[in-house]
Structure 1
Amino acid sequence: MNKTQNSDNYVYENSMLNVFKEEDYFEGFAQYYISIFKAQIVKEIDRIPSESLLDKGCLVESILINYKKKIYYLAGKTLIHEFHQTFDEFDQKNESKNYDIFSERLKNSAFVEEILNNYPVLQGLISRSTSDFIRFTISIIKHWVNDYKKIQQKFNLSFGKMRKINMNAGDVHNGGKSVVIIEFENNKLVYKPRSLEIDVFYEKVIDYVNQYYQTNLKTPLSLDQGEYGWQEYVQSEPCDNIEQVRNYYYQFGMHLGFIYAFQGSDFHFENIIACRDKPVLVDLETLFQSSLFFSEENKENVNLMASAQVNKTILKSALFNYMSFPEDNGLTNIGGLINTENQKGEKEEVLHIKTDKISMRKKQYLFKRGRNLPVYKNKVAECFEFEREFIEGFKRIYFILKEDLYIRNLIRDLNYAPIRIIVRPTYVYASFLETLLHPMYLKDYGERIRVLSFIKDAYTKYEVFDSISPFEIKDMMIGDIPYFNAPISEKRVYSNSIHVVDTGIMKQSAKQEVLTRLANMSEEDMHQQVSLINMALSSTAANLDIIYKNQIDDFVPGYFKNDIQIKELIQIETDCILKQAIESEKYLQWVSIVSAPNGTLSVGPLSFGLYDGLAGVGLYFSAYDFIYNDEKVKSVLRKIVNSINQIYEHSIYKTNFSAFYGSSSYIYFVNKMRDTGLYSENEVNSMCKAYLEKLRQETGQITHTDFIGGLAGILKVVIQLGRYHRTELMEDTARAVCKEICKRAIQNRNEAYWKSDADENIVLAGFSHGITGICYALSEYYAHIEASGEVLRLIESALKYEDKFFDIKINKWRDNRKNELDYSSAMWCHGSCGILLGRSRIYENVDGRIHVGYINESLDDTLLNGNFHRQGYSLCHGTMGNIDVLHAIKELSLFKNRKQEIENTINIWVNHFKETLLKNGWQNGIRNDHSGLGMMLGKTGQLYALLRLVNKEIPTPLALD
């Protein structure tokens, strides 16, 4: 043995000293495997002739540390479980007594083998992982040695000796392979165990665009070696000034232009690095994607139809929060444009290490600052303030790609480049694999197969998974995340680049689809994508309660004239909305800002409801058809009804009775469609009967009481049903709902109130969430069902209590929500306008039998401040909602002396609305949203209010008329 080998052996021996850290536990078990592994890995490394290219001591130490982590990942839960079977009671005087005994026993290999004999699946996983680990690690080292000259030539850097291999840079696929970050004496490189042909292609595209279009984009240098490749390691760096931040988002928008054109996906926050003013895409295996067809039902299922269309938009990039299906929580807070810093996550953690209380628990943690967004003055500079730059960058590349032929020729030259095909979200696989590390699944292979058999129906059930799931199970049996790919010019899908998966999931090759997209790029499509960007950013900002201003010319309607009339405005915008629709022979859908089940705002297909769903859009088109008798709108309505019926049938909100987003909103819509012929009279009556029977049974279980989400709104819907078809069941149900509302009132002498649904520690004034809205519903019951003295007295007592919230000194209603506001704005949902609507209607319903105060004062505040705000023009909390309320109350006898004043105000506000629209575009209920369609927050609600000005026979949805 020569001197070098002696030296290496000395280093090898000492490398063991640094493998174990303070946070490790039961080291004897890991040591059992590491000792064997070390001998094997040293033997293999010594066979590689590489004296000047490897720092063997450091390298082996890093390999051992990575291998140790693998052992703990596979066996950690089992070790902790086995340990807790060895004793029954804690020693109060020595908290590590049993831990020390068990640790000492693990130093005996016979005891380790005794444990392993009880877990043959674990033993097999470790054995397989060890072989894969050695094979993969040695292949990396050999590739480094063999490719050294090419690497030097490509990257033109001084690397020095290889010192560390870090294997925590990605999911494990294809026999334990993953992305690896390699540290050398002077620099770092990224090793990827897949072809980098697509990465090299993108490098060529960026070089070409930079040269011929005077841009300055950056992409990492890549060396493709067929089944693997080397890539430049990109270090994140902060910006020096605000101009660099602006440039960052301009360039990010440009990259999105390419991603959209190439149908890219999966660009989450870990796949982008912010390097001063340059965003760098560091994982391009999903830059090209085909549309996937999971079921022949695509055209017969409105949700599949909408999802397929969503996946043809910029949302597929995964840069933004979005939903593929109605009522789906969707992709949340992991996108490439999302600031993950301090967001909550959950991970398994070993607690009470080296004590008898050692355990593994899921624990919440806060994400560290990501590397995907620019940092300026040690703060993450988010995209919202730079929406203009981002969109301008997107448009710049869009128009280049629309005309440029050279890039299309580069794409045509790609024939065999493999692209990754993602058939399920990775988290579905990861969840299964994490579950299977529980000791109960490590004893019997049959049990492991049984659990994995459920993967076929996981996430979403489609027949295509019958042919895919055997390959998924095969990969997960050995602990790998399943990996599918396809050559860019083929429709065949492969598992791990070897086995053909007979799925028929791709109807066209990715190359053909991308070339078709490039040929079909248009101004109209570009504006559609820009609208989606706007909705995605504004909804995310709203979730984070971030206030910013975006002044972007793209959202100013270029087709409006200064003297445009209301009718022309309505017709032009209606045509625009129809152009945005996702349409099949039977169904219609739209993508807009919607509320996800988890309470956050997102962008995705509409659910069935009135507030932000298809029922609201359908009501608008029904009113439009009523006025203009448009034949094309009649077919639109039929398709909307088909979509609503199908979505409602499987909706998670079907058991919720809310009048704005639950089953009551559905029945309200169905009832409003009586005169359209879209439902027969018998159909409507039958559906109403089923609804009333269910409601009658479950009234006491409905938790909310207010108008927008609870019993008050429900009561109004029930009474509306009676106006069309009064039955004994309808009356009994109305009585039951009314009785439940009265029962929930907290009464004290001559006052009464209801606790807020959102916070039982507060009481709210207002219409949608407060006392006036509840009293209005009770007054409707009093006027149309039963003139009950008890109900009348409760209304009087509750209004008297609510009067306390009115400040006569400044003529405003106090805002009792915990939102840092002392007084409510004059809006429908909270404040004077909604109270004006409710109290004036109450006064009419009770025919002056009780005192209803502060009506004129609420009108004064509405007229003075109803357009003096920065909350936009939505129905819910904007000027058009206020206009609609004024229009609803102006004919009441209460205001016969103020009718002209009200009409003058309406006219002034409508003109201001048109001026703002011409200057700044639509100003919707979500701040900075110019594109959303929903009834209460978006365009259709504002257009509906305009329709009501054209024809006063159209009822207001704000009172559920």
Structure 2
Amino acid sequence: MTTDPAGPLLGGAAELAAIEDAVRWGRATDWWPAPDAVVDGGAEPADPIVDLCGAEGDRPMGVLGLVFPAARAIRDAAVRDVRGLGLPGLARAVSAAVPLSSLHDVVVRAVVADLHAVRDAGGLGAGTSRGRFEEFCAGLATPAGRRAVWDRYPVLAGHVRGLCGRWHRSVVELASRLADDRPGSGEVRSLRLGAGDGHRGGRGVAIVGFEDGEVVYKPRPADADRAFAALVEWFNGTGPALELRCPGTRPGAGYAWVEFVEHRAGTDARAYHRRAGALLALLYAVLGTDMHQENVIARGDEPVPVDLEALCTPLARPADWSVARTGLLHTGGVDISGLGGGAPGPHPVPSPTVRDRGTDTMHLVWATGTRTTWLPNRQVVDGTRTRPADHVDSLVEGFAEAYDRLARSRKALLAPGGPVHALSTAALRVVLRPTTVYSRLLAERAHPAHLSSPQAQRDVLALLGSDAVATTEAAQLATGDVPLFEFTPTGRDLTAGNGTVLRNALPHQPYDAVRAVLDRLSDQDLTRQADLIRTAWQV
């Protein structure tokens, strides 16, 4: 094999830019934060001391044999820490949620490189390809075999310890909140971690199954969810038609329990798309974005937004804002929009894919993944998924009706106590780069070529750039987190997921742009936005 068994190396900053362009709705902003000062967020928690070598007697587990002692250690520690919380089924659910898939992804590139090196050196004597793979993995399941890997890749050992520490801290925190709040009835039946990206020390969205149903855990403030729900409540009170729905939210201190929204078949495609048009108008009015195919669920005849972090999007020029930047509409390339995406087919960005699994020719390639099932963002009527392209008139009708209600009430919306004014003090998120860019860098730093030293790791993350924002992104990626940046619409600071504050990073107070967009609501602007809706699925 002439190709690198660990997969190709990243092709530099140009490849990152290509990844970014493949999944953007144009440029989300034509600005880049330029902070006046940077206030360090403080030291990260120390990685735990985890036995990475284990003892004799472990059975081979393929690639996972390398990290089995670490997984066992954090599982046992977490179960011990949550067993006394008094919530039936919790310890069992935590035990089943050990991050084996994440651990596999961290080490697989180094393991396959070693597999090929040992095979090519004649170190495997079995007579078949599968037998040689099993022979190699049997060595990974011994203390000596594991120690040899960690000695060869000490940086990789740090990655594994860091992942273990983040998982343990975040799952115990979640378990404590579950026990305190009891957001469901009966015992805990399941715990699905990793339903969203990991931020702030590995904290991510989780779905908790109770006897009476499921509830979503969001380890972030519920400001955006509650403010948008207030806007929807106001809107529903302005007329009997086009009523919208948001998931029910129960806020905690820095986190929230959110209603689990299930996809259900509908009966009225016109009503659904009129509501979708109204939802688009409300998002347009408050500069909401990132509403892609995973952030909308079709519940009967209602499009329900399920992730509303990115409101009051910072802009250099409010005049550049349009419905095309919300993410609900298709704007070219593979359709990943909230209303039109979700179809089975190729992902727009290649991802690491294991080939020849379970043999001594096992290797990684960067390939375009294919989703074989539908996402729940598209409405189903009579067994058939509706197409927004067939209901553009209904989308425009709903948008125009909601737009008119907003235009007639703009002063009340912005007045103290009004539903839009509530956003002015909310903790909101700005998405500076697509998550796929960060995911590619996290995968890149696990390549054996970058595991020789901490400096090699820094060199990978330096592909983001050298300005203060890129440095803050790199600091979060270095701990295994997907970078996060939050702001308050009446301020100009950005706060990173690791606590670092970028002073005066925004070009202006984002709430000023909301005022500007509401002030420009007019027949002329309505015509412009309606034209964008009509052409969305003609690209």
Q: State the TM-score, normalized to the length of structure 1.
A: 0.47
In 1: Cα distance, 2:342 partner to 2:403 partner: 28
- The answer (yes or no) to whether the contact 1:341–1:366 under 8 Å persists in 2 is no
Larger radius of gyration: 1
- Compared with structure 1, are the counterparts of its residues 218 and 482 closer, same or farther at alpha carbon in structure 2 (3 Å cutoff)? same
In 2: Cα distance, 1:349 partner to 1:159 partner: 40
Match of 2:325 in 1: 316
Task: Indicate yes or no: 2:437 matched with 1:421.
Answer: no
Task: Indicate yes or no: 2:239 matched with 1:233.
Answer: no
- The answer (yes or no) to whether the contact 1:62–1:166 under 8 Å persists in 2 is no
Secondary structure of 1:138's aligned partner: helix
Q: Deviations over 1:91-144 (max 9, x none)?
A: 794222222222222221232122112112211111111111111001111111
In 2: Cα distance, 1:373 partner to 1:39 partner: 41
In 2: Cα distance, 1:434 partner to 1:520 partner: 44
Match of 2:70 in 1: 33
1:798-947 aligned at under 5 Å gives the runs none
Given candidates 92, 104, 117, the residue that maps to 1:58 is 92
Unaligned segments of structure 2, at least 5 residues: 1-57
Q: Deviations over 1:544-572 (max 9, x none)?
A: xxxxxxxxxxxxxxxxxxxxxxxxxxxxx
Match of 1:71 in 2: 103
Secondary structure of 1:524's aligned partner: helix
Match of 1:246 in 2: 270
- The answer (yes or no) to whether the contact 1:485–1:497 under 8 Å persists in 2 is no
Task: Indicate yes or no: 2:177 matched with 1:143.
Answer: yes
- The answer (yes or no) to whether the contact 2:109–2:446 under 8 Å persists in 1 is yes
Secondary structure of 1:269's aligned partner: coil
Match of 1:338 in 2: 340
Amino acid at match of 2:143: S
Q: How many residues align?
A: 472
Cα deviation for residue 498 of structure 1 reads 2.7
Task: Indicate yes or no: 2:295 matched with 1:271.
Answer: yes
Amino acid at match of 2:408: E
1:558-707 aligned at under 5 Å gives the runs none
In 2: Cα distance, 1:442 partner to 1:364 partner: 26
Secondary structure of 1:212's aligned partner: coil
Amino acid at match of 2:219: P
Match of 1:736 in 2: none
In 2: Cα distance, 1:60 partner to 1:176 partner: 16
In 2: Cα distance, 1:442 partner to 1:188 partner: 40
Secondary structure of 1:213's aligned partner: coil
Given candidates 352, 357, 360, the residue that maps to 1:356 is 360
- Compared with structure 1, are the counterparts of its residues 497 and 223 closer, same or farther at alpha carbon in structure 2 (3 Å cutoff)? farther
In 2: Cα distance, 1:410 partner to 1:276 partner: 26
Structure 1 window deviating more from structure 2 (466-475 vs 165-174): it is 165-174
Match of 2:512 in 1: 512
Task: Indicate yes or no: 2:379 matched with 1:374.
Answer: yes
Higher RCO structure (Cα 8 Å, ≥6 apart): 2
Q: Deviations over 1:870-918 (max 9, x none)?
A: xxxxxxxxxxxxxxxxxxxxxxxxxxxxxxxxxxxxxxxxxxxxxxxxx
Secondary structure of 1:270's aligned partner: coil
- The answer (yes or no) to whether the contact 1:190–1:231 under 8 Å persists in 2 is yes
Cα deviation for residue 272 of structure 1 reads 0.3
Match of 2:114 in 1: 82
Secondary structure of 2:303's aligned partner: strand
Task: Indicate yes or no: 2:539 matched with 1:534.
Answer: no
- The answer (yes or no) to whether the contact 2:76–2:95 under 8 Å persists in 1 is no
Secondary structure of 2:190's aligned partner: strand
- The answer (yes or no) to whether the contact 2:153–2:451 under 8 Å persists in 1 is yes
- Compared with structure 1, are the counterparts of its residues 104 and 504 closer, same or farther at alpha carbon in structure 2 (3 Å cutoff)? closer
Match of 1:401 in 2: 406
Q: State the TM-score, normalized to the length of structure 2.
A: 0.82
Match of 2:139 in 1: 105
Cα deviation for residue 43 of structure 1 reads 1.7
Secondary structure of 2:85's aligned partner: coil
In 2: Cα distance, 1:537 partner to 1:375 partner: 19
Amino acid at match of 2:213: N
In 1: Cα distance, 2:77 partner to 2:300 partner: 44
Secondary structure of 1:220's aligned partner: coil
Structure 1 window deviating more from structure 2 (250-259 vs 213-222): it is 213-222
Cα deviation for residue 515 of structure 1 reads 2.3
In 2: Cα distance, 1:145 partner to 1:423 partner: 35
Amino acid at match of 1:477: A
- The answer (yes or no) to whether the contact 1:468–1:503 under 8 Å persists in 2 is no
- The answer (yes or no) to whether the contact 1:492–1:506 under 8 Å persists in 2 is no
In 2: Cα distance, 1:181 partner to 1:501 partner: 32
Match of 1:795 in 2: none
- The answer (yes or no) to whether the contact 1:318–1:335 under 8 Å persists in 2 is yes
Amino acid at match of 1:260: Y
Cα deviation for residue 145 of structure 1 reads 1.4
In 1: Cα distance, 2:63 partner to 2:532 partner: 52
Secondary structure of 2:294's aligned partner: helix
Match of 2:208 in 1: 182
Match of 1:943 in 2: none
Q: Deviations over 1:130-185 (max 9, x none)?
A: 1111110011111111122xx4xxxxxx5322232212312221211111111222
In 2: Cα distance, 1:374 partner to 1:186 partner: 25
Cα deviation for residue 389 of structure 1 reads 0.8
Q: Deviations over 1:791-843 (max 9, x none)?
A: xxxxxxxxxxxxxxxxxxxxxxxxxxxxxxxxxxxxxxxxxxxxxxxxxxxxx
Amino acid at match of 1:182: V
More helix by share: 1
Given candidates 148, 162, 168, the residue that maps to 1:134 is 168
In 2: Cα distance, 1:349 partner to 1:452 partner: 22
Match of 1:470 in 2: 471
Match of 1:385 in 2: 390
- The answer (yes or no) to whether the contact 2:215–2:257 under 8 Å persists in 1 is yes
- The answer (yes or no) to whether the contact 1:32–1:109 under 8 Å persists in 2 is no
Cα deviation for residue 340 of structure 1 reads 3.4
Cα deviation for residue 36 of structure 1 reads 1.4
In 2: Cα distance, 1:531 partner to 1:208 partner: 27
Unaligned segments of structure 1, at least 5 residues: 1-19, 152-157, 294-307, 323-329, 457-464, 540-961
Task: Indicate yes or no: 2:461 matched with 1:452.
Answer: yes
Cα deviation for residue 351 of structure 1 reads 2.7
- The answer (yes or no) to whether the contact 1:417–1:487 under 8 Å persists in 2 is yes
Match of 2:48 in 1: none
Cα deviation for residue 320 of structure 1 reads 2.4
In 1: Cα distance, 2:257 partner to 2:220 partner: 10
Cα deviation for residue 54 of structure 1 reads 3.0
Q: Deviations over 1:312-355 (max 9, x none)?
A: 01111022233xxxxxxx77421112233232234323233322
In 1: Cα distance, 2:383 partner to 2:297 partner: 16
Amino acid at match of 2:506: I
Q: Kindly, what percent of the aligned residue pairs are identical?
A: 23
Secondary structure of 2:118's aligned partner: coil
In 1: Cα distance, 2:476 partner to 2:498 partner: 13
Match of 1:494 in 2: 495
- Compared with structure 1, are the counterparts of its residues 518 and 331 closer, same or farther at alpha carbon in structure 2 (3 Å cutoff)? farther
Cα deviation for residue 432 of structure 1 reads 1.7
Cα deviation for residue 57 of structure 1 reads 5.3
- Compared with structure 1, are the counterparts of its residues 57 and 479 closer, same or farther at alpha carbon in structure 2 (3 Å cutoff)? closer
In 1: Cα distance, 2:449 partner to 2:211 partner: 45
